[in-house]
Each structure stands twice: as structure tokens, then as C-alpha cells.
Chain A
């Protein structure tokens, strides 16, 4: 194991001392005890212990075979969108354990889809739902309670019409607008620093609320807009955010949904094109990208990137009940 010590996440002072004392690779430190290391490298006992603790962590986690991964993924459900054509295109809905980005022009329905998913994730399991809770991070004040309650009421009515057996009738007793509201945790962030702080706290919030199955981040680009002057800091922060979101998704079996704005890219020669904001690097960071766009007066959703789905375009509408199929007779099949 010829891994250089400089790759360990240690403070620069300690690293310098180790190198001067002639320790260059991880293997040089093997079989050393803390007092000995502290004496030879001239670091404090405490620092020596920290170095050795770091080494033990360097052992990689056990690997999984592709078959095991497949089995694990097959157990993971998806959150239905109440729009059966979009569910079909996504293979059952927005998958748990994956990160999904929704982007499009203002007013196309990004927030509506987020609010809809925040209700849908709470649909009880006997109705084909996930029966989970949701954390809604709102950076632009778009979480409008009135509208959320409206979508919740529509979903409750929809399920109560479908209730057939005893189990479903019992489940309906606890699936009400008030329980939906009380299972929705709203986090407001006004700038990127607050957003970064909240992301740091997510692991502990998720540990305290194991039923959370959806994390919505509505408005990813807005908080980072003031950083346009310092693109390198923005890129580093965004890289960190992407890693944290991926860790939340895979570590807690949570579906992570973020929304992104559009921005204009100049192509030269006076031509321009609309592209999702936050740059090229961000586009690689997420598993699935869903593009919502207008075609005349029709609203369309296109899967722009996904390792597991074809690039399909489907039509949807936003009714007073929420995000739905264009043909209302299909909507009943959302179950």
C-alpha cells in the first residue's frame, strides 16, 4: 500500500512534521504505536493518536457484487407523481436513493412538481405509496402553504375514493391534510451560507426522523447567484453540495429532488440558447435530469439525462389538484 501520507486528511503542520521525520507512505506508519510516533516525528501524543486513527479508517469498505446491488435497488421504491405518463417514463416515479434535478423556465411547474412529490411521498403503502415524511428546503419562499394544503386535500380525496379493503380504510384515518402538514418539515434558507449550514445538519435531522423518504431543494441556483463574481468558490461549494446530496440519497434511501433555473448561454454570432444554470459540472453531479418546457401552450417533461431511462418526452398539466396527466381519465391510474 504505497499511498503517500500527503493524501491523508491531516492538518498541514502534522503532515510537514511526519515528512521531515522520514515518513512518506502509509506503510511507513504501519505497526507503530502512538508514543513511538510522537517521539520520532516530534508531534504531540494527541496528534499521533489522530494520525493512527486516520490510518485505520483508510481501509476501504467491503465491496458489493453487481447482483447484490441489483437486489438492493429492486427493493427501493419510487415516489409516484400522480401523472401516470411521467411515472411510466421514469419507471414508476421518482426513485428513492437517487438524486433528481428538475429544470425549466419560470412558471413551467417546477415548484408544483416538488409540492406534488412532497404530498405523494406520504401516500400510505397500502395505496402503493411510500408512506414517508419529507424535508422541504425552500430558498425562494416558494413553499406556499395554501397551495400545499390544496394539493394535500386533493390527494386525500383521491385515495379515499380508491379505498376498497379494510386495511386501506384504516390507513385513510391517519392520511389527512393535517397529518400531511405535520409530516412536512420546512427549512427556509435565504442565502448560500444558510443552505450550506442546513446541509451539514441534514445527517442528524435524518437520523432523528428515520421516516423521511424525500428531500426537496426548491431553488438551487438562486442562493449561489451572488457568487457569480467568484466562480471558483461557487464550483467548490457546489461540488461539496453534490457530494452531500448523493450521500443523503444513498445513505438514507431518500429521493433527493432539486430544482434549477434556466440561463442564457451565448453561442457567438449573436445566437444564444437556454441552458440550465450552475454550469456544466453540476449537470454531471446528479443521477437524473428532468427538463420541463413549453411547446406552444402544452407543458412537456423530457428526461434529459438518466442512466436507466430512455430520453422520453411526455405531456402533463397543472390543474387545481396538482401535477396531472393531460387526459384526466388516465389520472385515476396513478395508483
Chain B
């Protein structure tokens, strides 16, 4: 780089490529006193030094090892074509009692299996906002593992499942922000965690803001959703956000059915949206009874909008034939 240009840049306090590129060209000309052509040249040089050349989809296919996390049930994995995607935000929403937390707990266990068993050979971090963490239920699920995967008893007795689930409580937005910006990156960077569960996201944003504060709420929501998206892409995490439902009123004042909370601003940043509905029927199997549920793909870039009947058993959530 031309020494004259270099000194102009450093005296303007522009150190990194990112500093340079985030300033609009006209502003850059003003602060550095350089001509349009020089600025353009500097920016192009910075961009090419910073960014690597594009990959072809074929190269991506060859370099990609695992791109999803199994739910530990062949039928549900089939619905999701292998499981939850790595490097994107999955939302699971439904009414209370639908079984959302059950699926999240099940993932906390299945993430710990090695990759040939559908896991990611790593742990999970579980952020609770409303209820306390259902630790008893997790223990029960762990206890059932040797029965669910009988061919892997050597493995299941070796993994210390409850040691690899990190539990965080975030009762307000400030502590959630702290958790996402400091504690989670620390765990992730050490390779201890590949799954991030948030149960549930709506509570914080619902309770802290009045209806008239929607502008501030949206701003917070945007910064939160870009944060989890960045984390998931940067570290190849699976992110599962559990969401509640809200009744939406239509123009005439009637209800047009429950829809996920937090509105469009949040929906725009979700990659896969799943819905869990509790149905009035009951099913039983081997002396256990469970309310029937339906798990459906509402939208996703790679899944057709299919659904699957599921039930919650002692050993976890399973699809029904």
C-alpha cells in the first residue's frame, strides 16, 4: 500500500479491515482526505485480503461432515431429514403442556452420543428463563438410555450424561445478554457444548416491556436474535428456541387461532419453525399412557411441511407409526 495512503488511514484511526469497510465511501474520503479512486482501491484491497474466495456447493458437500443433530427417534429424524440443523436457529412452539421441554431435554442427551450415533460428541447448555430446570426428568431420561439403546450399553455407561449439561438461569434480559455474550462463548470455544437450548424466549420479552415500548422491545429482540444466529454460525452450534403461543386478534376482534409469540420481527430470524400441538386423544403402550401430540414442520428451507403424531413416554418423545 502507498505510504501516503497508509499514513492517512492510520491518522484517521482506521486499523482493521472491518473498520475500513464499515464506513461509507463518502465519509471515508472526508476523514482521510484521499481521493475517490484511492479510497476505492484501498477498500478493494482490504476486501480481498480479508475475505476468502467462494466455495462451490460441491466443495461444501465434500468438506461437510455432520450437518444435523438426531432427536434419538428414527421417525422424528425422518420428518426432519436427520434432525435439527447445525448452524441455524430452530424454533419449537406450542401451547403449554404440549411437550416442548421434553424434546429439548431429549436433545441434551442425544447431543452427547458420538457422531455415528447421530450425536455431536459434545455437551449442551440449557438456559431457563421461567421455570427451574427439570432436573428430575433429565435424570429419568438418562436412566432410560441403556434400555433405549441396548446395543450401546458399554457406551452409555461410559458417558456421564448429567455432567455435560450446563444449566443457566436468566431471569431478566440483562442476565440473558451476559450469559450469551460471555458464558456461552466460553463453553463453546472449549468444545464443551454444541447445543444451545433457550426455554423459553417469549417470557423475557413479554414481561419486561409494556405494549407501548414495542420499539425498544424490537430493538432488543433484533440484537438478541442476531446474537444467537452469530453464535450458531460461528461455532456450528445447534440452537433450539422454545416459544409460547399468543392468540392473535383479527380486524373484527375475533381470534384467528394461536400463533407463535414475539411476532414477525422474531420470525424473520428463524430458520426452521416446528410446531407441537397437544391433541385430545390418548394413546397407551406397554402400560404407559400419553396424550397424543402432533409435531409439524411449519417452515424450513429444506423440509416439506409434513407432520408426525408423537407421544411422550418415560424414555422420551417418540414418533408413532
- Contact partners of A105 in chain B: CB under 8 A: 264, 267
Is the CB–CB distance between B61 and A222 below 8 Å? Answer: no
Query: Is A39 interfacial (CB-CB < 8 Å)?
Result: no
Give CA–CA (A67, B302) in the complex, Å.
Answer: 45
Which of B64, B271, B299 contacts A141, CB < 8 Å?
A: B271
Query: Is A231 interfacial (CB-CB < 8 Å)?
Result: no
Give CA–CA (A197, B46) in the complex, Å.
Answer: 8
Query: Is A169 interfacial (CB-CB < 8 Å)?
Result: no
Within 8 A of A (CB), among B212-229: 219, 222-223, 226, 229
Shortest distance in angstroms between B30's beta carbon and chain A's nearest beta carbon? 7
- Contact partners of A50 in chain B: CB under 8 A: 35, 37
Give CA–CA (A111, B25) in the complex, Å.
Answer: 31
B-facing mask of A181-205, CB < 8 A → 1, else 0?
1111111101111101110110011
Which of B21, B27, B85, B233 contacts A196, CB < 8 Å?
A: B21
Query: Is B291 interfacial (CB-CB < 8 Å)?
Result: no
Is the CB–CB distance between B35 and A106 below 8 Å? Answer: no
- Contact partners of B263 in chain A: CB under 8 A: 264
- Contact partners of B54 in chain A: CB under 8 A: 135, 185-187, 205
A-facing mask of B1-19, CB < 8 A → 1, else 0?
0000000000000000110
Is the CB–CB distance between A178 and B58 below 8 Å? Answer: yes
Shortest distance in angstroms between B264's beta carbon and chain A's nearest beta carbon? 6
Within 8 A of B (CB), among A209-227: 221-222, 225-226
Shortest distance in angstroms between A208's beta carbon and chain B's nearest beta carbon? 9
Is the CB–CB distance between B37 and A186 below 8 Å? Answer: no
Is the CB–CB distance between A106 and B81 below 8 Å? Answer: no
Instruction: Check A194/B51 contact, CB under 8 A, given A185-B56, A264-B264.
Output: yes
Which of A12, A141, A228 contacts B29, CB < 8 Å?
A: A12
Which of A145, A184, A188, A261 contacts B67, CB < 8 Å?
A: A145
Query: Is A149 interfacial (CB-CB < 8 Å)?
Result: yes
Query: Is B94 interfacial (CB-CB < 8 Å)?
Result: no
Is the CB–CB distance between B301 and A12 below 8 Å? Answer: no
Give CA–CA (A200, B73) in the complex, Å.
Answer: 46
B-facing mask of A319-332, CB < 8 A → 1, else 0?
11000000000000
Query: Is A316 interfacial (CB-CB < 8 Å)?
Result: no
- Contact partners of B58 in chain A: CB under 8 A: 178, 181-182, 184
Instruction: Check A197/B264 contact, CB under 8 A, given A145-B67, A186-B57.
Output: no
Shortest distance in angstroms between B190's beta carbon and chain A's nearest beta carbon? 22
- Contact partners of B269 in chain A: CB under 8 A: 140, 222
Which of A112, A184, A190, A221 contacts B233, CB < 8 Å?
A: A190
Is the CB–CB distance between A181 and B61 below 8 Å? Answer: yes
Within 8 A of A (CB), among B262-281: 263-265, 267-271, 273
Is the CB–CB distance between B234 and A190 below 8 Å? Answer: yes
Query: Is A263 interfacial (CB-CB < 8 Å)?
Result: yes
Instruction: Check A183/B37 contact, CB under 8 A, given A146-B81, A200-B43.
Output: no
For chains A and B in complex, what number of residue pairs have CB atoms within 8 angstroms? 159
Is the CB–CB distance between B56 and A186 below 8 Å? Answer: yes
Overall SS of chain B's interface: helix
Is the CB–CB distance between A13 and B33 below 8 Å? Answer: yes
B-facing mask of A140-180, CB < 8 A → 1, else 0?
11111111111000000000000000000000000000101
- Contact partners of B223 in chain A: CB under 8 A: 226
Is the CB–CB distance between A12 and B51 below 8 Å? Answer: no
Query: Is A72 interfacial (CB-CB < 8 Å)?
Result: no
Is the CB–CB distance between A233 and B35 below 8 Å? Answer: no
Is the CB–CB distance between B264 and A262 below 8 Å? Answer: yes
- Contact partners of B51 in chain A: CB under 8 A: 194, 197-198, 201
Give CA–CA (A180, B60) in the complex, Å.
Answer: 13
Shortest distance in angstroms between A31's beta carbon and chain B's nearest beta carbon? 22
Query: Is A10 interfacial (CB-CB < 8 Å)?
Result: yes
Instruction: Check A197/B56 contact, CB under 8 A, given A12-B29, A106-B273, A225-B226.
Output: no
Most A-side CB within 10 Å, residue of B38, B60, B64: B60
- Contact partners of B18 in chain A: CB under 8 A: 193
Q: Which residue of A lies closest to B223 (CB)?
A: A226
Is the CB–CB distance between A144 and B35 below 8 Å? Answer: no
B-facing mask of A99-121, CB < 8 A → 1, else 0?
00000011100011001000000
- Contact partners of A144 in chain B: CB under 8 A: 85, 301-302
Shortest distance in angstroms between A191's beta carbon and chain B's nearest beta carbon? 8
Give CA–CA (A182, B34) in the complex, Å.
Answer: 41
Q: Which residue of A lies closest to B45 (CB)?
A: A200
Instruction: Check A14/B61 contact, CB under 8 A, given A186-B54, A204-B48.
Output: no
Within 8 A of B (CB), among A10-53: 10-14, 50
Is the CB–CB distance between A9 and B37 below 8 Å? Answer: yes
Query: Is A58 interfacial (CB-CB < 8 Å)?
Result: no
Shortest distance in angstroms between B12's beta carbon and chain A's nearest beta carbon? 13
Query: Is B155 interfacial (CB-CB < 8 Å)?
Result: no
- Contact partners of A178 in chain B: CB under 8 A: 58
Query: Is B88 interfacial (CB-CB < 8 Å)?
Result: yes
Shortest distance in angstroms between A327's beta carbon and chain B's nearest beta carbon? 19
Q: What are some 11 contacts across the A-B interface (CB < 8 A)?
A: A107-B298, A141-B232, A145-B57, A196-B22, A197-B21, A200-B47, A226-B222, A226-B223, A229-B219, A263-B265, A320-B304
With A144-B85, A144-B302, A222-B268 given, name 6 new contacts (CB 8 A): A9-B29, A10-B36, A107-B299, A143-B57, A147-B302, A150-B302
* Cβ-closest 7 pairs across A and B: A107-B299, A9-B36, A147-B302, A144-B302, A197-B47, A181-B58, A181-B57
Residues of B bordering A, CB below 8 Å: 17-18, 21-22, 24-27, 29-30, 33-38, 43-44, 46-48, 50-51, 53-61, 64, 67, 81, 85, 87-88, 219, 222-223, 226, 229-230, 232-234, 263-265, 267-271, 273, 298-304
Residues of A bordering B, CB below 8 Å: 9-14, 50, 54, 105-107, 111-112, 115, 135-136, 140-150, 178, 180-188, 190-194, 196-198, 200-201, 204-205, 221-222, 225-226, 228-229, 233, 236-237, 240, 261-264, 274, 318-320
